[in-house]
Amino acid sequence: MYNRKNAMILGAGSTAVVLAQSASADLPAGVGTAITAIQTDALAMVDLAWPVVSAIAVAFILFKIFKRVVSKV
């Protein structure tokens, strides 16, 4: 059951885990501040977009309802 292919897969997996653990370094403070600023700006833009997206969705729904009612008349 334990063959060469399984040994290679196990070895590659354990090597990847070891490298991933050793590669976790601290970022400079400027990078963290920049990422936080970008995240804040993105969330502000999403907050501005929600009313527009909601209005468009409601308009499409009302248009579909209007088309169904008109086609039955």
Residue whose pair of structure tokens reads 């579909």 in the numeric block: 64
Higher-scoring residue by pLDDT: 6, 64: 64
Domain map (residue ranges) of the chain: 4-72
Question: pLDDT at position 16, please?
Answer: 66
Longest dimension (CA), the chain: 74
34-68 pLDDT per residue, tens: 999 999 999 999 999 999 999 999 999 999 999 99
Q: What is the 3-state secondary structure (H, E, C) of the chain?
A: CCCHHHHHHHHHHHHHHHHHHHCCCCCCHHHHHHHHHHHHHHHHHHHHHHHHHHHHHHHHHHHHHHHHHHHHC
Tell me the percentage of the chain whose pLDDT exceeds 70: 74
